Amino acid sequence: GIYVCAKCGHELFSSRAKFEHSSPWPAFTDTLRGDSVAKREERPGALKVTCGKCGNGLGHEFLNDGPKRGQSRF
């Protein structure tokens, strides 16, 4: 399936990129497309992530915290 922005319906993530993580939130290794989200550095190792279309807050991208070495976690 495809996960979309709750505010505008913009396509964000594919269920193929979803993985189990200890956090209570869904975790993904990658966005659906390059323009799915916008990112800005919030602190070292964490980027603030917003919808690429409407700017709705989506949380963070944690660098090097994915299921494989070097992958990020959204």
Give 8-47 as a DSSP string. Answer: T--EEEEGGGEE--SSSS-EESS-SSTTSEEEEEEETTEE
Its pTM stands at 0.85
Residue 36 lies in a domain: yes
What pLDDT, on a 0 to 100 scale, did the predictor assign at position 23? 81
The predicted-structure confidence for 11-61, as pLDDT tens digits, reads as follows 999 999 998 888 888 899 999 999 999 999 999 999 999 999 999 999 999
Domain count, the chain: 1
Residue 6 lies in a domain: yes
Residue 38 lies in a domain: yes
Residue 71 lies in a domain: no
CATH number at residue 46: 2.170.150.20
The predicted-structure confidence for 63-73, as pLDDT tens digits, reads as follows 988 888 888 99
What pLDDT, on a 0 to 100 scale, did the predictor assign at position 49? 96
**CB under 8 Å, gap of 24 or more: what pairs does 9-17 form?**
10/36, 10/51, 10/52, 10/53, 10/54, 11/36, 12/36, 12/37, 12/51, 12/58, 13/74
Residue 50 lies in a domain: yes
What pLDDT, on a 0 to 100 scale, did the predictor assign at position 70? 87
Q: How many Cα atoms are found within 13 Å in the side-chain-facing hemisphere of 12?
A: 28
> What domain range includes position 35?
2-62
